């Protein structure tokens, strides 16, 4: 590889292959389940504080909504994964091999 007058390389950079992620990090299930559980725990905490204090407020309903959307999103993901495993034409490709 050639160098300029300061000794810095001037040629194209060599590209190293990027290693693939381990299965446990590539699968979306742990992230979705953890996030949904965090929303659920927060809903319980804010619900307990609301019932013992001045009433339930927007934080509780935000957490309930986050929990519901997490469950709904996970259901959609499972539906897409099963379609991919069946080989449906409209499904995302590559989902069938993700965590089980």
Q: What is the pLDDT of residues 65-97, one digit of tens each?
A: 999 999 999 998 888 888 877 877 776 665 555
- Identify the pLDDT of residue 63: 96
Contact between 56 and 47 under an 8 Å Cβ cutoff? The reply is: yes
Return mean pLDDT, the chain. 80
User: Residue 17's Cα: distance from chain center in Å?
Assistant: 24
pLDDT per residue over 48-60, tens digit each? 988 777 778 899 9
């Amino acid at each position: 590889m050639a160098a300029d007058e300061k000794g810095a390389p001037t040629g194209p950079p060599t590209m190293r292959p990027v290693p693939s992620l381990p299965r446990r990090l590539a699968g979306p299930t742990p992230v979705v389940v953890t996030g949904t559980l965090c929303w659920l725990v927060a809903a319980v905490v804010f619900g307990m504080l609301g019932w013992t204090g001045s009433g339930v407020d927007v934080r509780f309903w935000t957490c309930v909504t986050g929990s519901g959307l997490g469950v709904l999103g996970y259901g959609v993901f499972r539906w897409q994964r099963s379609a991919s495993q069946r080989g449906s034409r409209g499904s995302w490709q590559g989902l069938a091999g993700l965590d089980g």
